[in-house]
Amino acid sequence: MPCTTILVGKKASYDGSTIVARNEDSANGEFNPKRFCVVDPEGRTSYTSKISHLTVPLPAEDGVRYTAVPNADLSQGLWEEAGFSARGVAMSATETLTSNERVLGADPMVVYQPAKGTPGSDDFEPEQPGGIGEEDMVTLVLPYARSARDGVRILGELLERYGTYEMNGIAFSDVNEIWWLETVGGHHWIAKRVPDNCYVTMPNQLGIDSFDLADALGEQIEHMCSPDLAEWMAAHHLDLTLRAEGEDDKVFNPRDAFGSHSDEDHLYNTPRAWSMQRFLNPHAQSWDSPEAPMGPEANDLPWASVPERKVTIEDVKYVLSLHYQGTVYDPYGKFGTEATRGHYRPIGINRNSQLSVLQARPYGPEATRCVQWLAFGSNPFNALLPFYASVSQTPAYLEQTDPKRVSTESFYWANRLIAAMADANYAECVPAIEAYQLDLGSEGQGVLATTDALVAKQGLGAEAAQDLLEEANQHMADYAREKTDELLAKVLYERSMHMANHFARSDA
């Protein structure tokens, strides 16, 4: 899936939280209705993928409850995407990545092959399952991981054993750290710990730009990888790093070795990283100058950067809604020309399905530490809502999305309707949308503060606090429903006033 990710280390965030956030975007020409739920893996002994027809045995006794944002239509599988486990581990999967011919020739993707010929005949070829992919990863890993690092280990072993049919980036976090894993070819992978004082931007390209093989194959303090990565790279001449005399030959640039720098990247991918870094480090350079060393098509935008100030939840929502505001590339803007406006692929696009911001907070009772912020639909027009993850159920307004029936009873569909109508009259609708976003964000922060304090005052553990957390979640859903209905009415009125067939007697 074409997505956009930002990761924020605990020393770079406003409150010491680790923050993992990703837009899940549907493919061009389709939309994937989403729902928010809690999953209990008890009783599962195996899992079978819809896409790759692969069956994987599951550890029957180790799985714990977790939140997820699966597809409402299960015809293509679960696609659970993002959530927290009851152990406080978060996972976001996946960010689709690009690669190159050298990598894919050295380790081809593991693609499902249907049976051919007639069973029992000489020409019969049995079905060959494919590897694992975005459809499967949260289901196979999140309920079983005991830490962010352990999530990397589990997924790495699955990739080595079964392979994958697509290039992906996957984030794992807990209250202490964030890890980012990138698949490389069909069976290989690398993972790097996000520096605590940095944020990371990922726009559908292989992103890690420096990797220490000695650490990954040794102590694994900041790096992890496939056990045979060094031998495989050497056999296929994949390391493209130029080194001066005496430089460490174990440190290389994975983006050069495993990634791509195509013309399509320069229109579709790199401008998104540029726009996020432009917002979070506004004084790093003259971002809009033609002479700027790093422009929207630069190949060397850093994977990790230290922000100019601490990053908030509101900042994360803003950058994952960006459509190049204030530049000649903004499709809703007045700068530039028709040729420049819409030239680059926005982050906030019509095909945003859901945004999950996974915040692991280091303070307060353990029961309240994990918060999954959620938005559905096109991000420039929606709002981000907080939900406690240590619960056994989620509000119906977010869970009961009918994939075939458009209804304002669903938070997903209500947001889709608002965006589709507001887009045509953006300037007229944006004041109401911004007021809606501020209102829901403020209510959300207030609900968290009040509930945090109540749980702490009563000294409640995870199980004892569950009712209070579910009440807070339900309040947030009820408040969002009321305000979303109000916004829908305003946007509908504004759009109706601009219909092509409008006419008043005073016009005659």
User: How far is the C-alpha of 109 from the C-alpha of 166, rounded, in Å?
Assistant: 7
Catalytic residue list: 3
What are the phi and psi torsion angles at 17 (to 5°)? -75, 155
Type and span of the H or E element at 104: helix 101-106
Q: Are 176 and 148 in contact (CB under 8 A)?
A: yes
Give the single-character DSSP code of 113.
B
Measured CA distances, 71 to 32, 97, 112, 410, 412 (Å): 6, 21, 22, 14, 11
Residue with tokens 């486990």: 85
CA-wise closest residue to 209 among 198, 220, 221, 217: 198
Q: Are 12 and 311 in contact (CB under 8 A)?
A: yes
Q: Are 103 and 238 in contact (CB under 8 A)?
A: yes
User: How far is the C-alpha of 95 from the C-alpha of 9, rounded, in Å?
Assistant: 18
- Alpha carbon 196 to its chain's center: 19
* Encoded tokens for 324: 């190049």
User: How far is the C-alpha of 376 from the C-alpha of 418, rounded, in Å?
Assistant: 11
CA angle 382-386-390, nearest 5°? 145
Residue at 181: amino acid letter: L
